[in-house]
Structure 1
């Protein structure tokens, strides 16, 4: 079973979570609580460049974080989508809903 590695970094006005590995039903717990707690207080960037799998459970976590950001007036950014992440997000039909960036310099 693939693992998910989560690395947290602080930026000027955001928290960056670098994800590496499989983001799925088995590994979502590695990021879910941290993500939800952080998005309540400040902007979050999810770096998905090294994600090799993104399933429906992971998409649910991302959607919930997006909705929380709307509620708490913060922003969720998805950065550097891997091919797998891009395909999964595109399949939802909601890709245009997300703030997708290529670099943390795009965080506003």
Structure 2
């Protein structure tokens, strides 16, 4: 009984933090409003878009964009102005560049 609970807890923890995101059409459908900044130094989080779902990270900036809302762990909405955003992101070219620059906002993607 105890071991099955531990396995279940580990299973839940693994999937709870994966970063499968869905780009919502409307702001009221989103969990987090994001703005894409021009320069890496302006970002709260550097994002690397992975090609496959199993490569998605655990709140470390490696995102997989899903096709359907019900597949996502987080729903995001891209705003037009920085002042409207909860989170500022920058898309990086290489996987090792992904990660948090402002850890104060890390809770937004849990």
More helix by percentage: 1
TM over 0.5: no
Higher relative contact order (CA 8 A, sep 6+): 2
What TM-score results when the alignment is normalised by the length of structure 1? 0.27
Structure with max Cα Rg: 2
Higher strand share: 1
